[in-house]
Amino acid sequence: MSAADPPGRDLDHTPWPPEFAARYRAAGHWRGQTFGSLLTSLTAAHAGRTAVVGETVSDPWARWTFAELDDRAHRIAAGLVARGIRPGDRVVVQLPNVPEFLAVVFGLWRVGAWPVFALPAHRESELRHFATQAEAVAIVTVGVHERHDHAATARAVADDVSSVQHVLVVDTSEWAGLAATAPRELPDPDPEGVAFLQLSGGSTGLPKLIPRTHDDYLYSVRESARICRLRPGSVYLAALPVAHNYPLSSPGVLGALHAGAASVLAPRPDADTAFRLIERERVTITGVVPPLAAAWVQAAARTTRDLSSLEVLLVGGAKCGRELAARIGPALGCTLQQVFGMAEGLVSYTRLDDPEELVLGTQGRPISLDDEIRVVDEQDRDVPPGETGALLTRGPYTIRGYYRAGAHNATAFTADGFYRTGDLVRRTPSGHIEVVGRAKDQINRGGEKVAAEEVEDHLMAHPAVLAAAVVAVADPYLGERTCAYVVPAEGAAPTGPELRRFVRRRGIAAFKVPDLVEIVPAFPVTGVGKTSKRELRAALSALAAVASDQKG
Ligand code: AMP
Ligand code: DBH
């Protein structure tokens, strides 16, 4: 902790120490540009090109040019200012994949207000938490979407959280008035200041708020666009909820904008919707999480859609095992690009010209040579090269502290500012990172440690398995045993004994063969579609409670 950050003080934003900031500026990573001014210069370069395509609240299939997006953002900014929104105000944004998302977010950036990025899947308790933590002054949302009344939820939150003065609903006439305000020039905010609050995945407890600055985030967006080879002719499909850090910035809709490319916003990520849009809009690049990649691979076998425009499929957000990785290129006729990232900062990509071994077997290497990576043991000592340890990182776009979370920051970061990612990794001599598991995604079977992902990968090798998730189940003798949840491939009906036999025959230690196998139609998922192991574990403990009631 530095002198500027006395213990217990809940800073909004823990700045990088001045010597690091100076280094990142000198290296050209931080260029002193804000997102608002970025959109202005993109519009100058690409005015008539398509910036975003998707279902707006008023148009079933809108197509906005850079100039139109820029004009809308300017008007929204002026309208927000007229309603009293000021620089530094926090505004919770909960919008589905609609073009208005970009207009609202760039509008807020023009004002210098900070979007707080909620996902459409979040409900009252999470929104109340974000609004309270951030002392938000407003919530921007939609009316009814996918059978949920977001406007009603936002109003309920506004009733409870006194800081919230406005609920702005983009499909109302009130909003239409705001969005039609005459544009005016506004002062550009500080590029080294906070631009928005992103959310952590919140594997334990509620998500934490992550302050990202214009300078640091723009660096990661610019480099992501370059690494993913986005160009003005590219078409990026946002299949996942666009407010999530991954489809927002890796390379995401912001990377696409940065390159002068178009973004297509998919209302849903299922294969039917995505394949229809890939065919119709000639999509060249998109990104999914592994369970979705598995579903697309399966659907590709019988699709009549023309997917030939697709050049790159990014897979990340959770470990993409080798078995699944190997199926993607052949099934979808594109190049797999693995991406391992976190809303806190560090993002690593396999490069498009990496050898197959690295593309299939690693989660890529960091964006920046200034990303500092340490792989450490439980005492924070560096492990020998190539061995597994916990990943710590620090760099030009990795935060130095969560928003107003002094006590948590003391354990989430080392004294010298490295972020403790919670991921277990090893590095190849080329500097690529292989994610071996989460520090906690391990089953301790009477002292014998079972890495969930290792067993999942063996299960995934079975043709009847679409997806697998291995979690711990409490056991009176061993402490924990393993339970494998399995979603069958289409038309397949694998049985527990058959899968256990299959895994055993793959030649692994007997203690790693799943003790229980549960066949389920689908997994519970997080807001962005990652398998929610938290919910699977909760389901198991509920079952155990029922069983012990019945015994007792
Ligand atoms: P979040 O907190 O939602 O930003 O999630 C970030 C976390 O997701 C990382 O710390 C990893 O645990 C996980 N993650 C993201 N991408 C990958 C990947 N490609 N492989 C394994 N884990 C990943
Ligand atoms: O899971 C993530 O948070 C994530 C995955 C890929 C991410 O934040 C990112 C890329 O930027």
Residue 89 has pLDDT above 80, yes or no: yes
3-state secondary structure at position 109: helix
Beta bridge partners of 138: 91, 166
Answer yes or no: is the C-beta of 343 below 6 A from any ligand 1 atom.
Answer: yes
Yes or no: say if 130 and 209 are a contact pair by the CB < 8 Å rule: yes
pLDDT for residue 2 is more than 90: no
The confidence score (pLDDT) of residue 6 equals 40
C-alpha 116/C-alpha 22 separation (Å) is 28
Cβ neighbours of residue 58 under 8 Å, at least 6 residues apart? 171
Reference 290, options 326, 342, 325; nearest CA is 325
- Cβ 341 under 6 angstroms from ligand 1: yes
Q: What is the pLDDT of residues 275-301, one digit of tens each?
A: 999 999 999 999 998 889 999 999 999
Task: Provide the 3-class DSSP secondary structure of residue 50.
Answer: strand
Q: CB of 492 within 8 A of CB of 464?
A: yes
Whose atoms come closest to the Cα of 362: which ligand?
1
DSSP letters, 233-248, are: T-EEEE-S-TTSHHHH
- Taking CA atoms only, the protein residue closest to ligand 1 atom 6 is 342
**CB contact at 8 A, 285 and 237:** yes
Residue 388 CB neighbours (<10 A)? 16
Nearest ligand 1 atom, CA 423 = 12
Average pLDDT, the chain: 93
CA angle in degrees (0–180, nearest 5) for 333-335-339: 135
Q: Beta-carbon neighbour count of residue 10 at 10 Å?
A: 13
Q: How far is the CA of 130 from the centre of ligand 1 (A)?
A: 21
pTM for the whole structure: 0.89
The C-alpha atoms of residue 423 and residue 437 are separated, in whole angstroms, by 6
Helices then strands, each counted (H, E), the chain: 18, 26
Q: Which residues line ligand 2 (CB under 6 A)?
A: 245-246, 249-250, 316-317, 339, 341-343, 347
Q: Which ligand is nearest to the CA of 419?
A: 1
Across the beta sheet with 433-438, what order do the strands follow? 372-376, 389-394, 419-427, 433-438
Asked if residue 205 has pLDDT above 90, the reply is no
Token pair of 369 as six digits = 């040579």
Report the b/e string of 391-426 with b at 16+ CB within 10 A. Answer: bbbbbbbbbbbbbbbbeebeebbeeebbbbbbbbbb
Average pLDDT score over residue span 445-464: 85
Tell me, what's the pLDDT at 438?
75
Our CA angle for 122, 403, 75, nearest 5°, is: 65
At 334-366, the pLDDT tens digits run 999 999 999 999 999 999 999 999 999 999 999
Which CATH number is associated with domain 442-551? 3.30.300.30
At residue 453, the pLDDT reads 82
pLDDT beyond 50 at 160: yes
Residue 508 CA, ligand 2 centroid: distance in Å: 31
Which residue's CA is the nearest one to ligand 2's atom 6? 341
Sheet containing 285-288: which strands, arranged edge to edge?
Answer: 62-65, 50-54, 262-265, 235-238, 285-288, 312-316, 335-342, 345-349, 365-366
pLDDT of residue 549: 61
Residue 220: partners with Cβ closer than 8 Å, 6 or more residues away:
249, 250, 345, 347, 367, 397
Q: Which ligand approaches the C-alpha of residue 210 most closely?
A: 1
What is the 435 CA–ligand 1 centroid distance (Å)? 9
Q: What percent of the chain has pLDDT over 70?
A: 95
User: What is the SS3 string spanning 378-443?
Assistant: CCCCECCCCCCEEEEEECCCCCCCCCCCHHHHHHHECCCCCEEEEEEEEECCCCCEEEEEECCCEE
Query: Which 8-state DSSP code applies to residue 84?
Result: T
pLDDT bin (cut points 50, 70, 90) of residue 552 is: very low
Which 3 state secondary structure label does DSSP give 25? helix
Main-chain phi, psi angles of 423, to 5 degrees: -95, 145
Residue 8 reports pLDDT greater than 50: no
**Closest ligand to 438 CA?**
1
Q: What is the CATH number of domain 17-34+214-400+412-440?
A: 3.40.50.12780
Is residue 296 within 8 Å of residue 287, measured between CB atoms? no
Res 538 pLDDT > 60? yes
Secondary structure, 3-state, 290-349: HHHHHHHHHHHCCCCCCCCCCCEEEEECCCCCHHHHHHHHHHHCCEEEEEEEECCEEEEE
Quickly count: other Cβ atoms within 10 Å of residue 372's Cβ: 17
Length of the chain: 552
Mean local confidence (pLDDT), 310-337: 95
Which residue among 244, 338, 346 has the greatest number of ligand 2 atoms within 8 angstroms of its CB, and so is best to mutate?
244
Q: Say which CATH topology domain 64-189 has.
A: Rossmann fold (3.40.50)
Spatial separation of the C-alpha atoms in residues 182 and 82, rounded to whole Å: 10
pLDDT at 235: 98
Q: Could you tell me the residue ranges of all domains in the chain?
A: 17-34+214-400+412-440, 64-189, 442-551
pLDDT digits over 39-86, tens only?
A: 999 999 999 999 999 998 788 899 999 999 999 999 999 999 999 999
Domains 17-34+214-400+412-440 and 442-551 alike in fold:
no
At residue 480, the pLDDT reads 86
